[in-house]
Structure 1
Amino acid sequence: MRKLILLAGAAAGVLVAPSLAAAQDKNETTGLAEIVVTATKRSANLQSVPVAVTAITGETIQNQRINEFGDLTRAAASLTLTQSTASPNNAIILRGIGTYAFSIGVEPSVAVIIDDVPVVQQAQAFDNLSDVERIEVLRGPQGTLFGKNASAGAINIVTRDPSVVFSGHASATVTTDRGYKADGSISGPISDATGYRLGVYYNHWDGNVRNLANGHRLNDNTSYGVRGKLRSELTDKLVLSLNGSYAKSKSDGTAATLRSIDLNYIPAGATTAVIPRYNGVSILPALAGIKPGADNRKTRVDNDGFTENKQASFSGKLTYDLGFASLISVTSYQDWKYNFSADVDGTDLAVNGTAPNVTSPIAPGVGVSNSGPYHSTSFTQEVRLTSKGEGPLSYVLGAFYADAKTTRDFQRGPALILAKWTGWQSTRSVAAFAGVDYKFPTNTTISGAVRVNNERIEDSFVNLLSTATVYVSPTNIGTCGAGSQLCAGSNEDTATTWKLSVNQELAPRISVYASAATGYKGYAYDISSGYTPLRTQNPVQPEKSKSYETGLKSRFLDNRLQLNVAAFYTDYDNFQAQSSQYINGALQQKLNNVGKLRTKGVEVEAQAMPVEWLRLDASAAYTDAKVVSFPNAACYPGQAQTGVGCAPSTNPVGLGNVQDRSNTQLPNSPKMKINLGGTVTRDLTSDLKGVFTVNYQYQSKVNFDLLGNPLAEQKAYGLVNASASIERGDVKATVFVNNLFNEHFVTGIGDGFGSYGVHYVTQVLSRDSDRYFGFKVDTKF
């Protein structure tokens, strides 16, 4: 770690030294374009903001084909994603930190903001990115200005505003993996004071997994959406902006495929290999025609499963020019609905014994299935006062209110591992925040920000199984049957977060900065299967962080080279995570406080335009994200049977077999990620222009299991994407290839040892894990 920091500093010094004399004034227009961001709730040049932020412009989005949220990993080296067959279980990870949890009562550690509005559930972010102006990936705690659910970072998405003249664009894409997409927008004036923008998209993909039981393709997706914007200058000082959107995404089949199975597993004390079974039924017939491996794209299940997302949002923004400052009000309302069904046993076999087959509303089939809808609503109101002008003092003062509610119904059955419950959670937040910058004559800028947040959470849980019990006595508090007063509760707390930084300009366009910040994510209820009154009485403790960062931001060589470097060190206490725990002698998934985490590393981002027709992009992140203290972690599935690394718990309540996971790497946190890209733009003839782009993305090995199952490891891999375009006038045609060398990788790994008695390792496969070619036509007017 120390060597990497020294190396980055030395490299920066070598590059900066010759530029001090040659640095250009701030009006230089050749070379790289200036980028304006709102990372501090105020519009500012990317290079002047003392924040580690990756700004992805509309040009980059187009050249690198960033069409969906998952594509952002191509441009942000510190960003990784963990994905499952159900989007609420996905996780956005920055600098190794992210939240993976089943509970509706926990917020993510990485906030996603779309046009000034934070999304309610992180799953809402996994959607198409259409008609986007800019995306800002802010790394490290951002809670002082963006709220309590930004303890690890924030992703700020800004969509395009109405144009002052009539304009529009349309595009159509077709791919060799049975995908096609169309999107477009129109914009222009309604009157001298009012403008509009309307964008639509439709996207379909057939999927990458074949269900041998019925021939259907799984992991498919069909999505469509519409967004409208209206901007009106009500007076010469008052501007109203309205923003409304609706989107729907559906998959008619979901599946993880078999990565490996241990058919030679012999438990300690046994002499013969275990035959994998589910409820006593051998699953070997369900493996017919399936060859386990990283390239396996086949499964055999009786229930295809499905997922469906629907979301609608509306926001209004009023901006009043006070002369010395702008008074801004942002009001929003969101409604998100999600439903799913999933095959639990992973086979097409009748595993329920004499019980009847599964029927609606779970899913038709002969096995075990999950299902259940979510519904979230959110109202937010933010008011802020933002300074104007070029004086030494700039500031933002604000207040924020949010009221979010989420309900979830869940059932599993029909005969095994039964579950049927309904849960409800609400969060009311009230906050005041402020950020101040002051620039001294020495070109030294001191910045400070603070946020005081009061939060009240409430929960309710009802177990609808016939065997559920209610309160009986203090020693037998039941399992949250209907009427139990102990399964509904509330909790309130107030927390303060802050950030301090100093930025020193060494020369025009060259500065160094250092900052310290705190992060906070409040109490949470673990609203999921296995809920008891104890969860209401003991909500998961708040997650807190302290972060230190230093960096360099620079442009030199006639504004043709940009180099930004950041080194960071962050401690987390009471990190909230989903993991296995022994509860009453049984291993269950539970939201809990893992303990202490630490993430540290170095990030380097560079852009160069040595000549007007060539642009080079490079970013790299070294991240050492570790669990510092986790002494009583449960053993991973199968580890307790071998005894390797496991020991009986000494805890007086009895935790089963446990292991010490202290000083281990966090899940899906690669130590090294590298993104490289090049774009060549040349005039081919007097009216033809060619654009050629190549991108390379590398990441080191990761393990997807917090408990360290070695079978959950994804080895290091690298991906190459390329495209070639010809542009004539307002029409552009592009051919492209994704994953040129067909490098197979996964976005999630699970082990079904607890279900089958042997290591049965499954994998979640993204679309990008296979090579495909495509053709796209764009037109604008």
Structure 2
Amino acid sequence: MTVQPTDDLHVRAHALATGDRERAGGVSVTGPISDTLGYVVSASYSDWDGNVVNRANGERSNGRETLNTRAKLRWKASPDATFTLSGNYLNGNTTVGRPFIRMASDALLRNIAGQTQAVTMPGITIDADNQDISNNYRSRTKFSGWGTLLRSDFNIGKINILGLTSYDRFRLDDMIDVDDTSATVPAGRNTQIGAFRSRLFTQEIRLLSPGDDAFRYALGLYYANTGFQRPFARGPVFSLANWYGTTGSRQIAGFGQIDWEFVPKLTAQVGGRLQNERIKYTFADRLASTNFDGHASDTAATYHLGLDYQATRDLMVFGSYSTGYKGQTYDLTTGFNRNRALAGPVRPERSRDKELGVRAQLLERRLTFNVTYFDTDYTDLQAQTIETFADGSSAYRLTNVGRFNTKGLEFETSARLRQDLNVGAGVTYLDAKYTSFPVSQCYPLQTVAQGCTGSPGRRDLSGARAPQAPQWKGSGSIDYTPTLTDRIDGFAQVAGQYQSSLYYVAGDPETFQPAFTIVNLSLGVRSHDRRWEATAFVNNLFDERYYASLLNTAGNFGNRIATQAILPRDYRRYAGVRLALNY
């Protein structure tokens, strides 16, 4: 769905620079090679060194660097046959910095005498605004990948036959300082090194009827073959691990949907999918000198029912009921053993979703108003919990934990108040709760009084709000685009986002994120025909602090408070300029 080749030569370019050392740019060229052959070539690069400083070596962290390239060729072999070949290449890296924002005064690294915060993280002042770390190992990731897609379009009378053939490969290497300190004792040099390698081949064929008929249909077949490899090692002092796992899957599916306007303005939708999936795995634990392998298969059917009523040209109401399916899987993580192997795969997760909504345009389409109600029930929810095996032993693992429900309302509106003034807003109310989750692992430092019982510690999350699921989210914007001269327009935008409070781990007070609001401001000029544009912007205008995630790492510090934060890109206010050309 990226940019398609054009009949004339077009060049687009953009550049960005910010006051906190971000640099980015890109270019896209599209045009014809001949009357029947067109192309698109694009490339982009971005580099930001991050908003965290590692005091152990003076380097910046929590940044990223990415190179992305794409190319596409489209051949109109005949009026009824078109072939589009596209490819992409991605290469980049990130640096990882997780500052401590809270730590007990008596916390000791791995509870080792003398290994206080002042010793293990010299020069760091731990508080809610801390942006410094002290790591003696450079935590980072490296990634690269490429992919191709061949799209084949054939028209036979009014029928369109679409073929999609794709192949992708990807690799990510991750290297982490597990103790997050620069301690000189052996425990201060614990690292985690792994890789994630994947390949994916897919083939899809669709048969499509004309889109303007009262009776419309889409029928298709889908095939996918995937493979993953994961070498992993951690140590050499604590939380030891050294294993190599592989998984593979083969999926075949048939699907279809019918849209039938059986009476004027009233359209019924009926869709379904039948799929068969086979999965397999191998797991070699080099520390325990054990090897396991297994396989499983499953056939599942899902369906969709819907009804749309176009009451007027500017008012439509709709409703739908759908089922969903998330396939079975194996939990190939540290600790995989004979008990896990005998337990077999995690069962499939299934869902049932209901939606009702209204789409409306009023005042000669100057006002748009959309509202949607959704309600989804999940059964056999796949999540991490404590599992007890036949021999009485227990372990933490990914398994089926019970039921989950998410429901809410989404509101969206936009209004053109004047030819040069537009406003927009959106609000989402979300109620996401575990309806049955009787055995969940406790969060670090959770007490019996707080609901943690048994050995290993467990708690009942039934009825609890899901983590990372704010009850309210909202956004709004005001756009003003005055005409400055007969050739130049100005523009100004104020955009804001609101998010209510949430927990990053259910109920864990150390991972509580209060509500916050972020406001961004943009000012600029552009040519009337939009051939060029220059923008100055300020993101997080009021310097509002929030965290992208919070980690409770008390287990590394003698079970004393030790909380780390992952900082978002706009953790602090920053400004920059963007330039764009379009010819």
TM-score, shorter chain, exceeding 0.5: yes
Of 268, 281, 285 in structure 2, the residue corresponding to residue 459 of structure 1 is: 281
Aligned equivalents of 2:45, 2:109: Cα separation in 1:
43
Other-structure match for 1:180: 23
Q: Offset at 1:645?
A: 2.6
Q: How does 1:283-432 map to 2 (within 5 A)?
A: 283-284=116-117, 285-352=119-186, 367-432=189-254
Letter in structure 2 aligned against 1:283? T
Aligned equivalents of 2:513, 2:223: Cα separation in 1:
42
Other-structure match for 2:501: 701
Q: How does 1:453-492 map to 2 (within 5 A)?
A: 453-465=275-287, 468-469=288-289, 481=290, 484=291, 487-492=292-297
Other-structure match for 1:774: 576
Give secondary structure in 2 for the equivalent of 1:535.
helix
1:494 aligns with 2:295: no
- The 1:586/1:262 distance shift into structure 2, 3 A limit, reads farther
Of 93, 99, 107 in structure 2, the residue corresponding to residue 257 of structure 1 is: 99
Q: Deviations over 1:38-79 (max 9, x none)?
A: xxxxxxxxxxxxxxxxxxxxxxxxxxxxxxxxxxxxxxxxxx
- The 1:490/1:527 distance shift into structure 2, 3 A limit, reads same
Other-structure match for 1:674: 474
Q: Offset at 1:506?
A: 1.2
Of 401, 415, 423 in structure 2, the residue corresponding to residue 608 of structure 1 is: 415
1:517 aligns with 2:322: yes
Letter in structure 1 aligned against 2:359? K
Aligned equivalents of 1:586, 1:608: Cα separation in 2:
61
Q: Determine if contact 2:107/2:561 at 8 Å carries over to the other structure.
A: no
Point out the more displaced range, 519-528 or 629-638. Answer: 629-638
Q: Determine if contact 1:336/1:375 at 8 Å carries over to the other structure.
A: yes
Aligned-residue CA RMSD in angstroms? 1.8
- The 1:429/1:197 distance shift into structure 2, 3 A limit, reads same
Q: Determine if contact 2:233/2:243 at 8 Å carries over to the other structure.
A: yes
Give secondary structure in 2 for the equivalent of 1:350.
coil
**What TM-score does the superposition give when structure 2 sets the normalisation length?**
0.96
Q: Offset at 1:629?
A: 1.0
Q: Determine if contact 2:401/2:439 at 8 Å carries over to the other structure.
A: no
Aligned equivalents of 1:493, 1:350: Cα separation in 2:
51
Q: Offset at 1:226?
A: 0.7
Name the structure where strand makes up a greater proportion of residues: 2
Other-structure match for 2:553: 752
Aligned equivalents of 2:93, 2:303: Cα separation in 1:
41
Of 555, 567, 588 in structure 1, the residue corresponding to residue 373 of structure 2 is: 567
Q: Offset at 1:648?
A: 3.8
Other-structure match for 1:546: 352
Aligned equivalents of 1:585, 1:175: Cα separation in 2:
58
Letter in structure 2 aligned against 1:718? T
Point out the more displaced range, 750-759 or 391-400. Answer: 750-759
Aligned equivalents of 2:93, 2:385: Cα separation in 1:
28
Aligned equivalents of 2:395, 2:42: Cα separation in 1:
45
Q: Deviations over 1:728-773 (max 9, x none)?
A: 3622111001111111111111111222121211111111222100
Give secondary structure in 2 for the equivalent of 1:496.
strand
Q: How many residues align?
A: 576
1:685 aligns with 2:485: yes
Q: Offset at 1:615?
A: 2.2
Of 544, 548, 573 in structure 2, the residue corresponding to residue 743 of structure 1 is: 544
Per chain length, whose mean CA-contact separation is higher, i.e. which structure has more relative contact order (CA < 8 Å, sep 6+)? Answer: 1
Q: Deviations over 1:130-165 (max 9, x none)?
A: xxxxxxxxxxxxxxxxxxxxxxxxxxxx31111111
Q: Offset at 1:259?
A: 1.8
1:590 aligns with 2:390: no
Q: Offset at 1:582?
A: 8.3
- The 1:751/1:323 distance shift into structure 2, 3 A limit, reads same
Give secondary structure in 1 for the equivalent of 2:340.
helix
Give secondary structure in 2 for the equivalent of 1:278.
helix
Letter in structure 1 aligned against 2:512? E
Aligned equivalents of 1:370, 1:588: Cα separation in 2:
21
- The 1:511/1:566 distance shift into structure 2, 3 A limit, reads same
Q: Deviations over 1:681-718 (max 9, x none)?
A: 12111221111111100000010103x21111100000
Aligned equivalents of 1:494, 1:211: Cα separation in 2:
51
Q: Offset at 1:450?
A: 0.2
1:529 aligns with 2:329: no
Aligned equivalents of 1:385, 1:417: Cα separation in 2:
53
Identical columns (%): 32
1:711 aligns with 2:510: yes
Give secondary structure in 2 for the equivalent of 1:406.
strand
Aligned equivalents of 1:203, 1:579: Cα separation in 2:
39
Give secondary structure in 2 for the equivalent of 1:758.
coil
Q: Deviations over 1:265-307 (max 9, x none)?
A: xxxxxxxxx5423252523222433233332110111112110
Of 267, 270, 276 in structure 2, the residue corresponding to residue 448 of structure 1 is: 270
Aligned equivalents of 1:748, 1:447: Cα separation in 2:
40
Aligned equivalents of 1:657, 1:315: Cα separation in 2:
49
Other-structure match for 1:226: 69
Give secondary structure in 2 for the equivalent of 1:159.
coil
Give secondary structure in 1 for the equivalent of 2:477.
strand
Give secondary structure in 1 for the equivalent of 2:482.
strand
- The 1:588/1:302 distance shift into structure 2, 3 A limit, reads farther
Other-structure match for 1:620: 427
Q: Deviations over 1:401-444 (max 9, x none)?
A: 00000001000112322111100001111000000000133311
Give secondary structure in 2 for the equivalent of 1:769.
coil
Structure 2 stretches lacking a partner, 5+ long: none
Q: Deviations over 1:216-246 (max 9, x none)?
A: 1111211111100111111110000111000
Aligned equivalents of 1:495, 1:283: Cα separation in 2:
55
- The 1:647/1:682 distance shift into structure 2, 3 A limit, reads closer
Point out the more displaced range, 534-543 or 181-190. Answer: 534-543
Aligned equivalents of 2:395, 2:51: Cα separation in 1:
31
Q: Deviations over 1:378-406 (max 9, x none)?
A: 00000001111522111100000000000
Runs of 4 or more consecutive aligned structure 1 residues displaced over 4 Å after TM superposition? 579-589
Q: Determine if contact 1:352/1:416 at 8 Å carries over to the other structure.
A: no
Aligned equivalents of 1:586, 1:208: Cα separation in 2:
44
Q: Offset at 1:513?
A: 0.8
Q: Offset at 1:322?
A: 1.4
Q: Offset at 1:580?
A: 6.6
- The 1:628/1:436 distance shift into structure 2, 3 A limit, reads same
Aligned equivalents of 1:769, 1:534: Cα separation in 2:
44
**What TM-score does the superposition give when structure 1 sets the normalisation length?**
0.72
Aligned equivalents of 1:581, 1:177: Cα separation in 2:
47
Aligned equivalents of 2:205, 2:408: Cα separation in 1:
36
Give secondary structure in 1 for the equivalent of 2:346.
coil
Give secondary structure in 1 for the equivalent of 2:268.
strand
Give secondary structure in 1 for the equivalent of 2:70.
strand
- The 1:386/1:637 distance shift into structure 2, 3 A limit, reads same
Name the structure where helix makes up a greater proportion of residues: 1
Letter in structure 2 aligned against 1:637? P
1:244 aligns with 2:87: yes
Aligned equivalents of 2:351, 2:313: Cα separation in 1:
34
Letter in structure 2 aligned against 1:404? T
Aligned equivalents of 1:393, 1:351: Cα separation in 2:
73
Aligned equivalents of 1:302, 1:447: Cα separation in 2:
59
Letter in structure 2 aligned against 1:603? E
